[in-house]
Amino acid sequence: MEKVYTNLTTGGPISVYVEDGKITRIRPLQVPEEDYPKAWTVEDRNGKKYSPPKAMRIAQNVMAEKNRLYSKDRILYPMKRVDWDPDGDRHPETRGVSKYVRISWDEAA
């Protein structure tokens, strides 16, 4: 059974569709016409009226969240560069070259 969750992200209001614990799609929040909030209207000198479009706008990156969440390249646990010590030698010269090791969530905090 598919469930729909609503989220008001910083990228805009969205509906997240979930089936068997996995996101199946993300789309802009759909508001029925009768429930849509009353918009402002301005009128110019010639009598033409202007109102905002009846549509929810979201940032483009929000639509890619499902792909990012289920990416095979996603980092699933905290990691630390092998030659980096937050309290001592940081070795900036090896940045981008050194390997990473998995650390505990307590160590990452």
- Has residue 36 got a pLDDT over 80? no
* Stretch 10-35: mean pLDDT: 86
- 44: helix, coil or strand? coil
Backbone angles phi, psi at 47, to 5 degrees: 90, 0
**Residue 99's pLDDT band (cuts 50, 70, 90):** very high
| Domain edges within the chain | 1-33+51-74, 75-109
Reading the block at residue 10, the tokens are 């910083």
Whether 35 contacts 65, CB under 8 Å: no
* Residue range 64-85, pLDDT digits in tens: 888 989 999 999 999 999 988 8
6, 77, 78 from 73: Cα distances, Å: 27, 12, 14
CATH number listed for the domain at residues 1-33+51-74: 2.20.25.340
Please tell me the predicted confidence (pLDDT) of residue 57. Answer: 79
12/69 Cα distance (integer angstroms): 18
